[in-house]
């Protein structure tokens, strides 16, 4: 596991974004861990989060021309990532959408740089894939090309079928999905922390029951 992935796990645990215990998922499963990206809710957290996303994007080496953040959670994410990338010497345009079309002023549904070229979509997690589907439709309608999705955590967990939500997005839209960390990274981290051995056993058991390869 690369250093920035381990650092991100420690950062998420420290900010109580990543917690261990018993949590009921939307699918009705009892998960031994919970990830709530909404708790990255102050200036320093958002700054650091953008840096971790930027490192994951650069490590993945996906060619892209601009960033897109779906409303609402994607708006602060795409802004912080664009700033972090610029500070690393990679200046990209970005935009986000409105939930409602504005019929006055500049109008339209997109705020920021016009959608063009290869567009990298930014989100926190993928559960049902609804946000990605809506983003892909918006981007293609603008005659741009969705080239990938970047998220914070890939739970690597089966959805309603045999595939994970990330695999379903990959298959449906034929685009890559990259993440700062995934479930394997989390397990690798827990294996290095003896004080978290109980959590390791619970997470490993959950992966065995609901995980995908």
Q: Which of 104, 173, 198, 205 is catalytic?
A: 104
Distance CA 35, CA 24 (A): 12
- Mean residue pLDDT of the chain comes to 92
Q: Which of 16, 24, 90, 102 is catalytic?
A: 102
User: pLDDT by residue (tens digit) across 159-178?
Assistant: 778 899 899 998 899 999 99
Distance CA 166, CA 57 (A): 16
Q: How many residues does the chain have?
A: 213
**102 has catalytic annotation:** yes
pLDDT at 143: 97
Name the pLDDT band for 148 (thresholds 50, 70, 90): very high
pLDDT at 1: 59
Task: Answer whether residue 128 shows pLDDT above 80.
Answer: no
**99 has catalytic annotation:** no
Task: Answer whether residue 213 shows pLDDT above 80.
Answer: no
Distance CA 152, CA 200 (A): 20
Task: Answer whether residue 102 shows pLDDT above 70.
Answer: no
Q: Span 127-150, mean pLDDT?
A: 92
Residues of the chain with pLDDT > 70: what percent? 95
Give 192's Cβ-side CA count (13 Å radius): 9
SS3 (DSSP) at 64: coil
Distance CA 147, CA 60 (A): 12
Residue ranges of domains in the chain, CATH in brackets = 3-210 (3.40.50.2020)
pLDDT at 160: 72
Phi/psi at 157 (5° precision) = -125, 140
């Amino acid at each position: 596991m690369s250093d920035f992935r381990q650092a991100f796990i420690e950062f998420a645990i420290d900010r109580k974004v990543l917690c261990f215990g018993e949590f009921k998922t939307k699918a009705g499963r009892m998960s031994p861990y919970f990830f709530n990206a909404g708790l990255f809710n102050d200036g320093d957290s958002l700054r650091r989060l953008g840096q971790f996303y930027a490192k994951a994007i650069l490590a993945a080496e996906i060619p892209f021309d601009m960033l897109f953040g779906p409303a609402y959670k994607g708006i602060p994410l795409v802004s912080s990532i664009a700033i972090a990338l610029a500070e690393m010497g990679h200046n990209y345009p970005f935009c986000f959408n409105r939930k409602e079309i504005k019929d006055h002023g500049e109008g339209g549904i997109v705020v920021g740089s016009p959608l063009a070229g290869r567009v990298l979509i930014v989100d926190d997690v993928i559960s049902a894939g609804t946000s990605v589907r809506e983003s892909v439709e918006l981007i293609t309608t603008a005659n741009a090309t969705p080239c990938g999705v970047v998220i914070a955590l890939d739970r690597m967990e089966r959805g309603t079928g045999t595939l994970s939500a990330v695999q379903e997005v990959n298959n449906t839209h034929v685009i890559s999905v990259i993440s700062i960390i995934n479930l394997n990274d989390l397990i690798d981290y827990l294996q290095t922390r003896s004080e978290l051995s109980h959590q390791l056993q619970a997470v490993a058991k959950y992966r065995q029951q609901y995980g995908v390869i």
